[in-house]
Amino acid sequence: MGIVVQKYGGSSLSDADAIKRVARRITEAKKAGNDVVVAVSAMGDSTDELLDLADQVSPMPPARELDMLLTSGERISMALVAMAIADLGYTARSFTGSQAGVITDSMHGEAKIIDVTPGRITEAIGDGHIVIVAGFQGVSQDTKEITTLGRGGTDTTAVALAAALDADVCEIYTDVDGVFTADPRIVPSAKKLDTVTFEEMLELAANGAKVLHLRSVEYARRHFLPIHVRSSFSELKGTTVAGSIDDEARLEQERTMEAPIIAGVAHDRSEAKITVVGVPDKVGTAARIFEVLADAQINIDMIVQNVSAASTNKTDISFTLPGADGKKATSALEGIKAEIEYDSLTYDDKVGKVSLVGAGMRSHPGISAKVFKAVADAGVNIEMISTSEIRVSVVVSETEVDAAVAAVHTAFELDADQVEAVVYGGTGR
């Protein structure tokens, strides 16, 4: 008898009927002889509704109290799922993140898991219960306060539990049938991938693919834990996330040209672009700019520095960052304007990022040129470019993201021949 960890997102728990359907799937896993541990998200769009309510009460709510508010959604889900399981003749025990032993740092809103001490979970499993855990939350090791893991954090809760329990598999149930070559909501012809490596999935998640939370993939890769992404609305096999681009089998596939070149096209509309205009071109200036941003806990994505103008010896530095950090970043930079002596700041939150990801591009020259041509042929202007060993990313106008995604997807022959991808509901988590 093995341990199976499952995760169900908000779209899978949208109402009472959906919760009953999830409970039946959970009990089927138990009936098959498995010990079952389940991490659940808040129902439907209830987290967004709680955020809206908080905004109506306070435009700048204290981070501690916001975490206390947001974790209530998952607690509602875990209790309702446990009730539905009981109605099917099985016993279930529900636990909050802190009760389940999810230990985090003290960063409210974006806490990282430090450890999982699943004593109460293993005890409940030993007593024959199905265990339901509230996802997205934990307790700070230092302050003992309730913390949240960031949007999509229930994926990370599930993977962390699976690793701590030495589970056979972590099943992530969502509202699509697996990981696709693009978001089926904007590319209905996207193909489902049977397998994808951890590195490819990390790039896809980091660049906007919402099917898996980035930190859940990082955690799974660290613990060599396979993730099975599948739909809670169908019985299809889904996508297995496992293995490395440096595995012997993968390298042999690349040598024999059998490995797929491209895993997919991801997009992200949540980024913004800041340009520091007229920066004196002297030693240490760029370092100071990004030091201030780092001190403000702001993650930077792409960076472009123009060639200095000969007449002024000044340059422009542009970079992208999460749109949610835009105000904080501009405020931090305005604080060093006199020190740096730059001319001005420009801020643009109407941009989007489109990324082509695939381990096979390491051994196939001309991938970048093909991306740029596809985007240009679609009449879309590229504002910034960034690359890695297995990724090519471009920043375009927000209104042109869909066109760029579709163009790149078609250019690399990723469109399915017949069957359109099915989106069963929700936003992808």
CA neighbor of 156 nearest in space, from 73, 108, 97, 200: 97
Q: Given phi > 0 = left and psi -120 to 50 = alpha, else beta, which region is 366?
A: left
SS3 state of residue 92 = strand
Task: State how many domains the chain has.
Answer: 1
* β partners of residue 276: 317, 345
- Whether 57 is covered by a domain: the verdict is yes
CA 184 to chain centre: 16
- Whether 146 is covered by a domain: the verdict is yes
pLDDT, residue 420, reads 61
Cα 238 to Cα 233: distance, rounded to the nearest angstrom: 12
Cα 205 to Cα 7: distance, rounded to the nearest angstrom: 17
Please report, for the domain that includes residue 10, its CATH number: 3.40.1160.10
- Whether 158 is covered by a domain: the verdict is yes
- Whether 337 is covered by a domain: the verdict is no
CA 214 to chain centre: 4
- 164 DSSP assignment: H
- Whether 60 is covered by a domain: the verdict is yes
- Whether 103 is covered by a domain: the verdict is yes
CA neighbor of 233 nearest in space, from 423, 38, 86: 423
In degrees and rounded to multiples of 5, residue 323 shows phi and psi of -55, -30
Residue 129 belongs to what domain range? 3-174
Mean pLDDT by 10 residues, the chain (429 residues): 91 95 96 96 94 94 96 97 97 97 95 95 97 97 95 94 94 92 92 94 92 92 94 90 80 63 94 95 93 94 84 90 94 95 95 94 88 97 92 96 97 81 57
Token pair belonging to 12: 């899978």
Cα 263 to Cα 265: distance, rounded to the nearest angstrom: 7
pLDDT, residue 428, reads 40
pLDDT, residue 93, reads 98
- Whether 398 is covered by a domain: the verdict is no
- Whether 127 is covered by a domain: the verdict is yes
Cα 16 to Cα 216: distance, rounded to the nearest angstrom: 28
Quote the pTM value: 0.86
pLDDT, residue 429, reads 39
pLDDT, residue 254, reads 62
